[in-house]
Chains A and B, each alone.
Chain A
Amino acid sequence: MPPSDVHHEHTPVVPIIEPVPHISVRGLTMAYGDNIVMRDLDFEIRRGEIFVIMGGSGCGKSTLLRHLVGLQQPAAGAVFFNGENFTAATEARRDVMRHDFGVMYQSGALWTSLTLAENVALPLREHTQLSTREIDEIVRYKLALVGLAGFEEYYPAQISGGMTKRASLARSMALDPDVLFLDEPGAGLDPVTSRLLDNLILQIRDSLGATIVVVTHELQNIFAVADRALFLDIATRTIGALGHPVELRDNSPNPRVRHFLSRSD
């Protein structure tokens, strides 16, 4: 990975006037049984932007991500991809739409019976016609990207927590997805690796043009990568603010947002 300044100046994404946002969330209410996690979420994610979902622990960030990828059905509202209703689509149609997704789960969720190489290879085997050799080369490249070259034949049980995260990131990038969902990529990593990861995220967007949705509450990551950030407010159970993090930190009318972004940790 070529070294580049993580604290680079933010050039807000060129506001291409786009008729249809890449992802739009309309009136989304999320609940477990009759316990409402978040209500009436309304926002759009533009193509090619790095969109950060932030908020305190337990506010529903991972839950929102699960709704976005269709692992959970909303209590109300819907999610649209490229203007198509994902929530109301049939399971078969959703499977097709998911071919463009890459998801990195908070727990890593590597398949424990497969080696790291096999983990990254599985999406390629399922959804491409590539030969074994080609798959093998892509796998090596993706693992090298996250600094796991040489660990191809390791099993998930044999690597550390931070390595699990990185391997999971490599797997989520296997198919060069259109949209990448990352749940706390920086958690459990040392500051240096965490910065490398921020860099990687920026490069994936720049080189592949992917839309990237990142869940995180680490300020470092937020300020390093976010084009726009969505703050889920646990106190009101809905959106607290949406905008560029620096802008939000300095000018948000919501004191909890300013506090969240200007805390020192």
Chain B
Amino acid sequence: MSRPPKKSGAGTGQVGDARLDIAENSGAAVVRISGDWSIHAGFPSAAALLEKLPNAAPNSLVFDCAALGNYDSSLPSFLLSLLRHSETCGIVPDTGTLPPRVSRLLALSAARPKSVSAAVERIAATPAAARAAVRQRLVSASVFERIGVWSISSVRSWDKALDFIGQTTRALFNLFRGRARTRFRECWFFIQASGADALPIVSLISFLTGLILAYVGYLQMQQVGATVYVAPMVSLAMMREMGVLMASVILCGRTATAYAAQLGSMQVSEEIAALRVLGVPPVEYLVLPRLIALVFTLPVLTLYADFCGILGGLLVGSSMGVTLDQSLNMMERVMTVPNVTSGVIKSVFFAVLIAWAGCFRGMVCGKSAQAVGNAATSAAVLGITLVIIADAVFAVLFNAINFF
């Protein structure tokens, strides 16, 4: 058996590149297809061709393929697109005027005319309006249009966010009344995953944060001969701000993303729908255990991060000519109740925000693997953003009530 020729040539030899002309002839548009058509050489756009038609357009379309050279699947691809576009414009193409082999190739793809009819179903307007709609889709979206689309979609996502806040609040309310369908057994698992398993990374990050702060402080303090203040300064910074922030950022990266991915993939596989039909509120069943777990975990992680950071500060301080005794003495002065507790108080609120961000992104996730990935990414971004904003609010608040 001989190898079939690579190109299913209908004409003879080379006739030059693919060419298209459109002309009007007694009420019908005549599309002249000529030259060699190859997917490697690219082919013209059907929509652009229809653009050339005058507004008072003909309502039928015939083909003239006399000068057609070699062709491959680029030609039927183009024709299919032409058929689709002309149908939405209300023009009836006459495929009988195509060479038989071409129309057979085309018929294969027309066996499932669904996409065509779907397009017709949506745009049930006059041919001229339909043509305008097609034209508009061709013009790449303008800046204003993009801004519009963006604002509409962001308003919609606010809508969803408010809805989810409402659902979470209701679930918490049910929890306090002892009516929530929450599996507390699951909480232990989430506490382990978000807390115990995060200890190594929290140790490292907060120790290094303490170390860095100490170096920065040391360079300044040295100039006024006050290096003895390095250790208390680091302690203060860790306890009030950096400890809780570092722990929160780690939770956003490790746990909020995990929550979003877990709930997102449950959304994709219809597990959440199954819960809903069973009459089990997904928020109570899935979100509350995660939220409760973080409310326990983050304060503990915060205290632990404070401790590691202070250790880092001490290390630098005592290697730069201040004795450990001196440092500890100075540190005692900043170990006041407000300083120690402010980070922990904040951590409770941050925990709620982080769990909420992760679960929210998971619950509103779309139905694809890509959407799950996006949910995880945006959970981390949302979580960190919320935490920083809340931290700023707390800074103002603590200042206002003199919580020092």
Chain A residues in the interface with B (C-beta under 8 A): 34-36, 58, 66, 69-71, 95-96, 98-99, 101, 103, 105-112, 122-123, 126-127, 234-235, 237
Contact: A126 with B279, CB < 8 Å?
yes
B245 to chain A, nearest CB (A): 31
Contact of B269 among A34, A35, A112, A235 (CB under 8 A): A112
Q: Are A111 and B271 in contact (CB under 8 A)?
A: yes
Which of B117, B181, B265, B273 interacts with A105 by CB under 8 Å?
B273
CA distance A103 to B278 in the complex (A): 9
Category for how many chain B residues contact A: 10 to 19
User: Do A35 and B278 have beta carbons less than 8 Å apart?
Assistant: no
Q: A103-B277, A109-B273, A112-B266 are in contact. Are A234 and B122 (CB under 8 A)?
A: no
The reply to whether A101 and B277 contact each other, CB–CB distance below 8 Å, is yes
* B114 with A234: CB separation less than 8 A: yes
| A195 CA / B6 CA spacing, docked (Å) | 47
| Top-4 shortest CB links A-B | A109-B270, A95-B279, A109-B274, A105-B270
**Chain A residues in 8 Å Cβ range of B181:** 126
With A34-B122, A109-B271, A109-B274 already in contact, 13 other A-B pairs whose C-beta atoms are closer than 8 Å: A36-B121, A66-B273, A71-B273, A95-B279, A96-B279, A98-B277, A103-B274, A105-B270, A111-B266, A111-B274, A112-B266, A126-B278, A126-B279
- Docked CA distance A246–B269 (Å): 35
A130 to B269, CA, bound (A): 29
Bound CA span A249–B118, Å: 27
Contact between chains at A71 and B277 (CB < 8 Å): yes
Flag if A105 contacts B274 (CB, 8 Å).
Answer: yes
Whole-angstrom CA separation of A142 from B121 in the bound complex:
45
CB distance from B368 to the nearest CB of A (A): 13
Q: Residues of B contacting A99 with CB < 8 Å? A: 279
Q: Judge whether B179 is part of the interface by a CB distance below 8 angstroms.
A: no
The answer to whether B121 and A35 touch across the interface, beta carbons within 8 angstroms, is yes
Residues of A within 8 A of B104 (CB): none
CB-CB nearest in chain B for A105: B270
Cβ distance B108 to chain A, nearest Cβ, rounded Å: 18
- Given A35-B118, A35-B122, A235-B117, are A69 and B277 also a contact pair (CB < 8 Å)? yes
Q: Write out, one digit per residue, whether chain B residues 273-291 have a CB within 8 A of any chain A CB (1) or not (0).
A: 1111111100000000000
Contacts of B117 in A (CB 8 A): 235
B262 CB → nearest A CB, Å: 8
Contacts of A110 in B (CB 8 A): 271
B277 surroundings in chain A (CB, below 8 A): 69-71, 98, 101, 103
- Whether the pair B278, A122 counts as a contact (CB closer than 8 A) is yes
With both beta carbons as reference points, the residue of chain A lying nearest to B268 in the complex is identified as: A107
Query: Which B residues are CB-close (under 8 A) to A36?
Result: 121
Task: With both chains docked as a complex, state the minimum distance between the C-beta of B274 and any C-beta of chain A, in angstroms.
Answer: 4
Q: How far is the CA of A96 from the CA of B278 in the complex (A)?
A: 10
Q: How far is the CB of B77 from chain A (nearest CB, A)?
A: 22
C-alpha gap A237/B118 in the complex (Å) = 10
- Taken together as a complex, chains A and B put the C-alpha atoms of A108 and B269 apart, in Å, by 8
How close is A171's CB to chain B, nearest CB, in angstroms?
8
- Complex interface: chain B residues within 8 A of A111 (CB): 266, 271, 274-275
CA distance A237 to B114 in the complex (A): 11
Residues of B within 8 A of A237 (CB): 121
For the complex, give the distance between the alpha carbons of A123 and B271 in Å.
13
Q: How far is the CA of A66 from the CA of B266 in the complex (A)?
A: 17
User: Whole-angstrom distance between the alpha carbons of A103 and B266 in the complex?
Assistant: 16
Q: Closest B residue to A58 by CB, please name it.
A: B114
Complex: how many Å from CA A101 to CA B279? 10
Contact with A along B162-198 (1 / 0, CB 8 A): 0000000000000000000100000000000000000
Establish whether residues A107 and B270, one from each chain, have CB atoms under 8 Å apart when the complex forms. yes
Complex Cα–Cα for A69 and B277 (A): 7
Cα distance, A238 to B277, chains bound together (Å): 26
| Residues of A with C-beta under 8 A to B276 | 71
Bound CA–CA A34/B133 (angstroms): 15
Chain A residues, Cβ within 8 Å of B271: 109-112
Are A98 and B121 also in contact (CB < 8 A) when A108-B269, A112-B266 are?
no
Q: How far, in Å, is B181 (CB) from chain A's closest CB?
A: 7
| Chain B, range 239-257, C-beta contacts under 8 Å to A | none
A106: chain B residues within 8 A (beta carbon): 270
User: Which chain B residues numbered 274 to 317 have a C-beta less than 8 Å away from chain A?
Assistant: 274-280
CB distance from B301 to the nearest CB of A (A): 24
